[in-house]
């Protein structure tokens, strides 16, 4: 069970009559993060790396943030690259990897992914790289490993795929795909942005090579995170200044540095998870597994009545995964309303202070494949663990009345 009063009290932005159900776009930041941004700016807003104590303190605060980010995905701190966003980090990565590839080498992208993990790889076509597309099946709207087989060959250098759809919310078996891609001699770049706010990520047990998350969707500040396998980060050519040595991880991947106060605040995400766990079971040791198990259970409880309402209503159709099972999906649900453009529904919900959204959500190719671009895309309800059963009830009642 999750003590929602306790949880919600950690998020100042939730002190509003609005039910915030657009969390896949960006979550509310927790108080622990906000406090650390402020503390950094008030105490040590100085340049890192000098010998004077305040600079040393600032360096330590930023390093503590990097350690927190590493903890969040199960990596070592020097394997964590921080940047403005996941989009920017993938763009940088594609440029770096291209330098070690030859004309005629191949990459595989999907039509399920957010454009952030498609566009940068597709752009390499202009430089002589062949791009192949792994498509979802029409029935379940998911990626099947068998369909990857014919696309893999000895020229495949990388497969870019998502860990979870930011539109239909289905979880992809990232580990099984990574194992297959590796046996074909290629690398993986996995977009974990839609999964990481909801489920425990452990990049080592997933066995992936590059993994992306957006910290502003994990109750943190507006930063992106890229995990890269240490050997790959070391052997790739630095996008940074010529005098930054090739073995200086992860700075060779952080030209212009990170935003210090935001990086330092990442400790607040771990503190928040720790506070939730200690509130519920008294343990003061960080227990991310326990935290994510706890919120996953709550999220499944939230999404169950919503899916069942949408499934039973004669005018609505849920896209993709119908099961509320937290091993199969996160609480991001997209649906269509018969006879309506998707753009018509969220404004009606606005009138009831229910913050929901329509569109393609940058999974442009998915929405194009589903032939929904001209009808407003989908209506997406993206819940977070701080949403309440009462808010979901309000949404169901509102939809019942509107439709």
Ligand X SMILES: Cc1ncc(COP(=O)(O)O)c(C=O)c1O
Interaction between residue 114 and ligand X (CB under 6 A): yes
Structure tokens at 154: 């000895």
Nearer to ligand X (CB atom), residue 2 or residue 143: 143
Structure tokens at 161: 């795929």
Closest separation in Å from C-beta 186 to ligand X? 21
> Applying CB under 6 A, which of residues 29, 169, 224, 376 lies at the interface with ligand X?
224
Rounded to a whole number of angstroms, the CA Rg of the chain reads 21
Q: What is the size of the binding site for ligand X (CB under 6 A)?
A: 12
Interaction between residue 116 and ligand X (CB under 6 A): yes
Interaction between residue 105 and ligand X (CB under 6 A): no
Nearer to ligand X (CB atom), residue 191 or residue 391: 191
Interaction between residue 385 and ligand X (CB under 6 A): no
What is the distance between the alpha carbons of residues 377 and 294, in angstroms, rounded to a whole number? 32
Q: What is the 3-state secondary structure (H, E, C) of 75-88?
A: CCHHHEEEECCHHH
Interaction between residue 87 and ligand X (CB under 6 A): yes
Interaction between residue 22 and ligand X (CB under 6 A): no
Residues of this chain, 154-173, that bind ligand X according to CB under 6 A: 166
3-state helix, strand, coil in the chain (%, to 5): 45, 15, 40
**Contact in structure between 177 and 161 (CB atoms under 8 Å):** yes
Interaction between residue 191 and ligand X (CB under 6 A): yes
What is the distance between the alpha carbons of residues 317 and 336, in angstroms, rounded to a whole number? 5
H helix runs in 110-201, sequence order: 119-122, 145-148, 174-183
Q: Residue 188 gets which letter from DSSP?
A: E
> Applying CB under 6 A, which of residues 111, 214, 382, 387 lies at the interface with ligand X?
214
Interaction between residue 342 and ligand X (CB under 6 A): no
> Applying CB under 6 A, which of residues 10, 85, 265, 382 lies at the interface with ligand X?
85
Q: Residue 138 gets which letter from DSSP?
A: T
Stretch that binds ligand X, among 186-194, 301-309, 338-346, 347-355 (CB under 6 A): 186-194
What is the helix (H) or strand (E) element at residue 292, kind and residue range?
A: helix 288-312
Nearer to ligand X (CB atom), residue 224 or residue 290: 224
Nearer to ligand X (CB atom), residue 85 or residue 277: 85
CA distances, 300 to each of 67, 140, 199, 324 (Å): 30, 20, 12, 6
Quickly tell me which residue has 């979550």 as its tokens.
27
Closest separation in Å from C-beta 169 to ligand X? 11
Interaction between residue 302 and ligand X (CB under 6 A): no
By CB under 6 A, name the binding residues for ligand X: 24, 85-87, 114, 116, 166, 191, 193-194, 214, 224
């Amino acid at each position: 069970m999750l003590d929602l009063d306790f949880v919600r009290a950690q998020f100042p932005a939730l002190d509003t009559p609005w039910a915030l159900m657009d969390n896949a776009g960006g979550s509310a930041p927790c108080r622990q993060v906000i406090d650390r941004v402020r503390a950094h700016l008030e105490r040590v807003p100085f340049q890192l790396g000098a010998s004077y104590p305040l600079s040393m303190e600032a360096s330590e605060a930023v390093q503590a943030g990097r350690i927190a980010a590493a903890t969040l995905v199960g990596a070592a701190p020097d394997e964590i690259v921080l940047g403005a966003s996941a989009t920017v980090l993938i763009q940088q990565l594609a440029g770096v990897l291209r330098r070690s590839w030859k004309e005629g080498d191949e990459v595989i992208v999907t039509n399920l992914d957010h454009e952030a993990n498609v566009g940068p790889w597709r752009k390499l076509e202009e430089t002589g790289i062949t791009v192949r597309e792994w498509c979802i099946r029409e029935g379940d709207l998911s990626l099947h490993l068998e369909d990857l087989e014919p696309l893999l060959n000895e020229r495949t250098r990388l497969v870019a795929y998502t860990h979870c759809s930011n539109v239909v919310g289905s979880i992809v078996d990232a580990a099984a795909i990574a194992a297959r891609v590796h046996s074909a001699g290629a690398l993986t770049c996995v977009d974990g942005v839609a999964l990481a706010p909801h489920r425990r990520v452990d990049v080592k047990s997933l066995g992936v090579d590059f993994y992306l998350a957006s910290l502003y969707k994990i109750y943190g500040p507006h930063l992106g995170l890229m995990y890269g396998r240490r050997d790959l980060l070391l052997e790739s050519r630095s996008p940074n200044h010529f005098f930054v040595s090739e073995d200086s991880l992860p700075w060779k991947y952080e030209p212009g540095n990170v935003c210090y106060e935001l990086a330092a605040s990442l400790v607040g995400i771990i503190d928040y998870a720790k506070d939730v766990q200690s509130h519920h079971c008294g343990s003061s040791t960080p227990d991310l597994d326990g935290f994510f198990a706890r919120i996953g259970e709550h999220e499944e409880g939230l999404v169950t009545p919503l899916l069942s309402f949408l499934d039973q209503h004669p005018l609505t159709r849920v896209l993709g995964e119908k099961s509320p099972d937290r091993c199969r999906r996160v609480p991001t649900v997209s649906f269509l309303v018969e006879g309506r453009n998707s753009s018509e529904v969220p404004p009606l919900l606005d009138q009831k202070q229910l913050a929901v959204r329509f569109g393609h959500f940058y999974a442009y190719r998915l929405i194009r494949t589903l032939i929904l671009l001209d009808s407003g895309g989908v209506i997406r309800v993206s819940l977070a663990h701080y949403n309440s059963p009462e808010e979901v009830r309000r949404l169901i009642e509102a939809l019942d009345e509107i439709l």
